Every structure is written in C-alpha cells, then in structure tokens.
Structure 1
Amino acid sequence: MVDRLDKSDIYERFAEVTRQTKDLVESMEVLSEKLSLVLAENAKLAIENDHLHEVIKQQHREQKKEGLSDSRKMLQRLYQEGFHVCNDMYGKRLEENEACTFCLDAIYGRHQVK
C-alpha cells in the first residue's frame, strides 16, 4: 500500500511540474513576442535618432557659415537695445556708451564677428 501512495504522489507531482512547464513555455512565448516588438521599435528609433543627429549637424554647419545662431542673434539685439545679456547682470540697462565684456562674450564667444 505504501508503494502505491508513493507512485501516486510521484505521478501528481510530475503532472504539476508538467503544468508549470507548459505555463512557463506560454509565458516565454508572450515575452518573446513583446521582446521582438521592443527590438523592432528600438531599431526604428535608432535610425530616426541617427537621422536627427545628421539634421542637427547640417544645421550647425549652416549656422557656422551664416555666423551667429538665432539665439545669439536675439542676445545681440537685446544688447544693441541697451540691455545686459550676461549672466551676472541679465536684463539690467547698460549705461550710456557702456560696453560689457561679459555680454560680448555671451553673444560672440567662440564666434568671430563678420
């Protein structure tokens, strides 16, 4: 009788492990499908990112040819209208005929005036 119970218990445990294995295989299939989707999206985003980097590089090359970027041109206009554009005094009025080296550096730093 003891022998029969052990065999029955072994069979039940085997059946349970079989069910768990089937569940695990199903979970792995679902994960595999999701992973494929994520990898495809990642590849698409990598291509788009490379394209955007090229666009930015091209715009940067064009800006170097043209001189100042739009944001620096805006700073230049503010400075010409009589306002500081440097970090320390941003927005404060310049005195008459005052020149601020820090403002000029903010506008033209690492750019040559044409």
Structure 2
Amino acid sequence: MNKKEVYDTFAQLEKDATATLEQLQKMKHEVELLMESNTALSIENQHLRDRLAELEKQEQLNKEMSTPEMSQSRLNLEKIYEEGFHVCNVFYGSRRVEDEPCAFCIDVIYGERK
C-alpha cells in the first residue's frame, strides 16, 4: 500500500466514524425523548389508577348508604316527572309550568314504599 492509499483509507474511515457518531447521537436523542414520554405517561397512568380507585371506593360507599331501589313503575313515574309532566292524581298528565316542583307528584314517586 502506498502513502496515498493509506491516507485515503484513513480519510474514509474518519468519514464513516463521523457518520456513525451522528447516527448514534440522533438515536440517543430519540431514546431520551421516548424515555421522557414514557415516564410522563407512567405518572399519568398512576394518577388515573388512583383516581379510579377513589371513585370506585366512593361509589361503593354511596351504594351502601343509598336507599333501596325503586320499583320499575316508580322509576317510570320519576322519568315522566323529570320530563316536565305531573304524575300525581290531582294534575296527572298536565305539563309542569317552568318545571316547578309538585309536592303531590313527589309524594307519589318517593312517598311511603310498600
């Protein structure tokens, strides 16, 4: 090998090494971004799990403290009442003006359950 070939070989190796180094730096930067994103998502995921557990605990407490379920017929009356109609025997079927409450209707829906 003559001097020129040796020099050209070193020059080519230097170019290749520089290109490889640039690729490694780019890949390192991408891995750093992925790790940051992964950490942020892991933290968010843990917060969501904690919140879900809190909501489930609250829902369980609400179920334990709530009154017994209403019958299907009372649920239907409640739905009609919420849609703005009277369900009491005094004004049955008429529209409640500006959705004003009606003591008779409330008594029919939520009154003494037998």
Interval containing the TM-score (normalised by the shorter chain):
0.5 to 0.7
Query: What is the count of residue pairs matched by the alignment?
Result: 80
One-letter amino acid of the counterpart of residue 19, structure 2: E
| Structure 2: 5+ residue stretches without partners | 80-86, 88-112
Say yes or no: does 1:15 pair with 2:1. no
Aligned to 1:75: 76
Note the C-alpha offset of 1:36: 1.6
Report Cα offsets for 1:48-79 as digits up to 9, x if no partner. Answer: 0000011111122223xx2115988413657x
Q: What is the distance in 2 between the residues matched to 1:7 and 1:72?
A: 91
Note the C-alpha offset of 1:17: 0.5
| Structure 1: 5+ residue stretches without partners | 82-112
Instruction: Return the match for 1:47 from 34, 50, 56.
Output: 50
Amino-acid identity (%): 11
Note the C-alpha offset of 1:2: 2.5
Question: SS state of the match for residue 25, structure 1?
Answer: helix
Q: What is the distance in 1 between the residues matched to 2:73 and 2:64?
A: 16
More relative contact order in 1 or in 2 (CA 8 Å, sep 6+)?
1
Query: Which residues in structure 2 correspond to 1:1-114 (within 5 Å)?
Result: 1-63=4-66, 66-68=67-69, 73-75=74-76
